[in-house]
Chain A
Amino acid sequence: MVNAWTVASMVAVVAGVVGFFTVLRGSAFAAHAIPNGSFAGAAGASLIGVSTLFGLGVFSLGGALTIGLLGRRGRHDVATALALVMMLALGALFLSFSVEYASEVYSLLFGEVLGISPNDLAPTAILGTLCILAIAVLYRPLMLSSVLPEVGEARGISSFRMEMLFLAVLALATTMTVPVVGTLLIFSLMIGAPAAARSFTDRPLLAMGLSVAVALLIVWIAIAASYETNYPVGFFVGTASAISYTIGRLWTAVRSRRTAQPSHI
């Protein structure tokens, strides 16, 4: 049980930090698409008896690379949409070979916190630390490139390189968060917390910190509620993320009405 809290907290921290930049860059598509691909990886891994984390990692990185190389073209492409559905179908195929078909499908898609084994603690911690470190190291150029890509280019910060690096971090984050929150719900956590946080503060670092705090709150509430009611954690994560997001939006609306200002030149 301690495992569940520890791992879930790590997941929340990473989701808060990486999610901050995901929302900043508007990378909703990547955040949706990468977990789809990793679903097949996890399913395949469990089939051949390799660690799920490994399967998730390989397919997440592969998906991230592909999305990065396709660039804008991939976002509205029918080929990309079909390729992603293909990955889900492949995952379904792999899982259909295993005896635990149904429960494995469920836990991969919706998450499985309370079944985290002590073995997963170390790799999850390592991946999580890598993610945080990467974001810390890339912080300055990533901030500029995300907000003003042209100015970044003029300073020698390649937008393409920043995108690829960020997608790689997103892939790593997906890898370690999916076992807990599930492929279908990781997007909610990664978007809901930062989107809420940015409504409450104007400062970037504070917003990132608040994003982590909100994510932790969401995850802790989800685990506690799940433990109490036995209802799936994913349900609470999805609902709490939506509530956080809504609160954030409402607060933004209230604030903008209060501080309506004529613009000056």
Chain B
Amino acid sequence: MSGDVLALQGVSVRLSGRTILDRVSFEIAPGEFTGLIGPNGAGKTTLFRVILGLQATSAGRVLVEGLEHGPRHRLIGYVPQKFLLDPDVPLRARDLVGLGIDAHRLGMPVPSRTRRALVEEMLHAVDAERFADTRVGQLSGGEQQRILIAHALIARPRLLLLDEPLANLDLGGAQEVVALLARVAREQQVAVLISAHEINPLLPVMDRIVYLAAGRAVSGTTEEVVRADVLSELYGRHVDVLDVHGRVLIVAGAGEDTDLTGHEGAFPGAGIPG
């Protein structure tokens, strides 16, 4: 559909004889909040790398704002799952956010009122004013994550990609981040694609879900996708979807299917609603 921020059409990735992604197709409309859900090893990070243009596809196309070879980097903001910030590095939170404005351009940043205002606005949006002048390396993991989100958003991307941002958080922390992302995405009119192996923290805010299992994907609304028949077909084995007081529990039964590497029984993360 034209106007989509992101469109994947039949994307396949084969590496060393293994199929990591198998004909994955889905679209994300402007401003949509999409969850990329799937167990570990399903291919989520590879999919992200494909979207960012860091991984070549064996088949299929990736269209960003309708263009296959456009200024993709300008349009997509990215927050990685793991990063290491040395506590001694002389870079304040606000400096890192400011770097987001034009890090891809050569030369040195020229301080200006507009820059400062932009940085203040972003810091306010992610609720980081409190520690704006602290060295990034000395912030907690959650605070750093918020700074990285601000850094990604300040360049006004059309799509924000977050790789497993909830992985190391407890339920309270996860809900906070999700609420923050939903709010900021609405304010900045940015589409969000966030990968996770736990579906429940995202249920309240997802417009669309892309469910990835063993390299294959199904996309649609939560009602369309999170169903026993759909997921069983995706996994290639029997899957039960249970509703426990409004929380979803996805349980995959034992099977001989070797597509899902080493997962028998409930796959990690989805069994415990937390």
Contact = CB atoms under 8 A, between A and B. Distances in A.
A141 B106 contact: yes
Interface in B193-213: none
B78 A207 contact: no
The dominant DSSP class at the A interface is helix
Contacts of B135: 202
Interface in B84-113: 85, 88-92, 95-96, 99, 102-109
Contacts of B54: 153-154
A252 B161 CA distance: 36
Contacts of B89: 24, 147, 198
Given A140-B106, A151-B151, A263-B140, A203 B90 contact: yes
B221 interface: no
A118 interface: no
| Size category of the binding interface on chain B | 35 or more
A21 to B, nearest CB: 11
A264 B107 contact: no
Interface stretch (A97-105, A119-127, A131-139, A218-226): A131-139
B106 A138 contact: yes
B23 to A, nearest CB: 25
Contacts of B92: 202-203
Contacts of A199: 88
Contacts of A201: 90
Interface string B126-140: 000011011110011
Most chain B beta carbons < 10 A, residue from A156, A157, A207: A156
A154 B52 contact: yes
A155 B106 contact: no
Interface residues of A, number: 33
A136 B107 contact: yes
A156 B78 CA distance: 11
B154 to A, nearest CB: 12
B104 A263 contact: no
Contacts of A147: 85, 89, 91, 96, 136
A265 B103 contact: no
A188 B107 CA distance: 28
A204 interface: yes
Given A202-B134, A265-B176, A157 B104 contact: yes
Contacts of B169: 265
A152 interface: yes
Contacts of B173: 265
Contacts of B133: 202
Contacts of B106: 137-141
Interface string A153-174: 1111100000000000000000
Most chain B beta carbons < 10 A, residue from A147, A153, A198: A147
Contact of A154 (B76, B105, B131, B139): B76
A194 to B, nearest CB: 9
A26 to B, nearest CB: 8
Contact of A148 (B83, B88, B131, B139): B83
A147 B93 CA distance: 12
Interface in B61-85: 72-73, 76-80, 83, 85
B90 A204 contact: yes
B143 interface: yes
25 contacts: A136-B108, A137-B107, A140-B107, A141-B104, A147-B136, A148-B83, A148-B148, A151-B83, A151-B148, A153-B52, A154-B76, A155-B73, A156-B72, A157-B103, A198-B88, A199-B88, A202-B91, A202-B92, A202-B133, A202-B134, A204-B95, A206-B90, A252-B88, A263-B139, A265-B173
**A-B complex: 9 closest residue pairs judged by Cβ atoms:** A154-B78, A207-B90, A156-B73, A263-B140, A265-B142, A144-B103, A150-B80, A198-B90, A139-B108
Interface of B: 52-54, 72-73, 76-80, 83, 85, 88-92, 95-96, 99, 102-109, 130-131, 133-136, 139-140, 142-143, 148, 151-152, 161, 169, 173, 176
